[in-house]
Structure 1
Amino acid sequence: MSDGLAGLRREVAVGCRVMAHRGLVENILGHISVRLDGERALVRCRGPEEAGLGFTTPDDVRVVDLDSGEVIDDPAGDYAAPSELPIHTSVLAAHRDVDCVVHAHPPDVVVASLAGFAFEPIFGAYDIPAAHLAAAGIPVHPRSVLIRTDDLAAEMVASLGNAVALVLKGHGVVTIGADVAEAVLRALQLDTLARIHLRVCTAGTIPEAIPSTDLAELPDLGGAFNRETLWRHHQVALEHDGHGLN
C-alpha cells in the first residue's frame, strides 16, 4: 500500500482525512501513528498553519523518536508531536506486532460510553466486521483524561490488554492494526456499533447482543472485501466529495 516513506506519509494523511470525513474527529483533535522501526514512528503532528485533520497533508506527518518524543525530521522546529503521544509510544512498545495506532474522538462513542453502553454485537449481517469486533471484546478505559504521561498511558495499555479496540470513557477511542487501513476501519466499526446502539435507545428500547447461534453464522468475507474494497470505498468517497489529497 505504500511506496517508501513518502507513501507512508500519504497513507497517514489519507487516514486522517477519512476519519474527519466520516465524523470520527472534530477540528484538530485525533492522530495516527505508523511504526518505522524500533526507535521511530511517523506521527500526524501539528504545524504552524494547523487547519485540522480533515486538511492533513503529508507534510503534517513527521518522524518522531519513540523514546524522546521529539520530531526528528523538522530542522526548523515548525512541527510538534501531539500532547497525547504517549498513547502511541506505549501501545507500540507493548505490542510489537502492531504497526499503526489510531486515536479519535467519535461523538457517538463518547455518548455511548458515558451512558454505560456495553459494546456488544447487537447486530449481525448489517456490519459483519463490526459484529466480530464486538464479539471479540471491546474494553472501556474508565478515565476521561488527556493521556499525556507514561503513567497514564500505562493504565490505558492495561485496559487495552490483547484487544484491538479500546473505548476511552468520555474521551474517544484507540484502535490498532497492521496498517492505517486496518486501524482506521476498526475505529469506523466501533463508531457504527455506538451509533446503532444509540438509535435503538432513541426508538425506546435497550438493544441486546444477538444470539451466539446467529453470531456463529456470520462468515468472514475475507480481507479483499472487508479491508481492501472497503478502504478503497472510503478513499473514493473522500475524493468524490472534494476532500482528497489530489
Structure 2
Amino acid sequence: MKVDNRNDTSQEWEIRCDLAAAYRLIAHFGMDDLISTHLSARLPGKEHRFLLNPYGMMFDEITASSLVVVDPNGYIREEEKETKINNAGFTIHSAVHMSRDDAKCVMHTHTLAGMAVAAQEQGLLPLNQKSMAFYGSIAFHDYEGVALNLEERERLVDDLGDNDAMVLKHHGLLTVGRTVAEAFLNMYQLEQSCRIQLAATQGRQKVTLLSASVAAHTAAQFKYHGYNESPRPWAALKRRLDRISPGYAT
C-alpha cells in the first residue's frame, strides 16, 4: 500500500520556515555567536530526527531549505573540516530530543549576558519580572569541556529534567519548547533576564531581592497564563522578519 506523506511534507516545511525564522531573529536580537551555537526542531514521525543548521553559515544566512536533517541513530561524527553540522551541537540537541518528547525545539546560545551569568556563583537571580518567570524552574549543568563526549548527554538531560530553561555553567543558555515559537520566547525572556542582571549588578551596586513567596507567585502567574504559548508575539516577530529579512522562508 502506498503511504501518503504529503501531510508530513507540509508539516516539515512549516517547521523549517519557523526554525529558519528563529535563526534570523536570534541574529537580529544580537544573540548569535558567528557560526557557533545552534537551534533545532524535531521532525514529525516516530523517529527522533531533527533539523539543525549547516555548520559554517551565519544565522542571518539560514533559510528553510538549508537546514540539515539529522538522524541521531545514524549520524556519523566527522572531522571538523568535513562535518556538515556542529558536532557539539549534535551532542546537546540529540540528548534532549531523544529524552523529551515535549521538547520539539531546542535552542542554545553563547551570549555575553548568558555566559556572564553562567559564570556567576549565584546563578539567575529573581531581580525582575522577566527572571521571576523562571523562579524554581531553571536547571543548571556543570561544565565538562566542549560537548563532544556523547556520555555527557545522560548527565545533561538528567540536569535539565522537566524544565524548559537551563544555564550551562561557564558556557551559555539553553531553552526548549513545544513549538519553535515557545522555545524562542523562552530564550528571549531568559536572555533579557541575564542582561538585566548584568546591568543591575555592575559596579557592585546593592540589589534588592523580593521575597521567595512573591517570586513563586509571579512564576505561577506566568505559568498559568502561558505567556510564551501565545501565538501573538511569534506572529508579530514573523511580520517584522517578513519586512527586514524575507529570504528565510526559501
TM-score bracket relative to the smaller structure:
0.7 to 0.9
Match of 1:245, as an amino acid? Y
Aligned to 2:59: 53
Question: What is the correspondence of 1:230-245 to structure 2 with a 5 Å cutoff?
Answer: 230-242=233-245, 245=248
- Residue 43 of structure 1: CA displacement? 1.8
Task: With the length of structure 2 as denominator, give the TM-score of the two structures.
Answer: 0.80
- Residue 70 of structure 1: CA displacement? 5.5
Task: With the length of structure 1 as denominator, give the TM-score of the two structures.
Answer: 0.82
- Residue 208 of structure 1: CA displacement? 4.5
Aligned to 1:74: none
SS at match of 1:136: coil
Match of 1:187, as an amino acid? M
Q: Which moved more, 1:182-191 or 1:230-239?
A: 230-239
Aligned to 1:98: 103
Structure 2 segments unaligned to the other structure (5+ residues): 1-8
Question: What is the correspondence of 1:51-200 to structure 2 with a 5 Å cutoff?
Answer: 51-69=57-75, 80-84=84-88, 85-124=90-129, 127=130, 130-132=131-133, 134-143=134-143, 145-200=145-200
Q: Which moved more, 1:18-27 or 1:232-241?
A: 232-241
Q: Which moved more, 1:139-148 or 1:202-211?
A: 202-211
Instruction: Show CA shifts across 1:4-36 (max 9, x none).
Output: 211111111111111111122121112222222
Instruction: Show CA shifts across 1:208-238 (max 9, x none).
Output: 4422453426744834776322222332333
Q: Is residue 2:197 matched to residue 1:202? A: no
Match of 1:35 among 36, 42, 54: 42
Runs of 4+ in 1 over 4 A off after TM superposition: 223-226
SS at match of 2:106: strand
Instruction: Show CA shifts across 1:45-102 (max 9, x none).
Output: 316xx4311211112212211212259xxxxxx9713212021111122212221111
SS at match of 1:69: coil
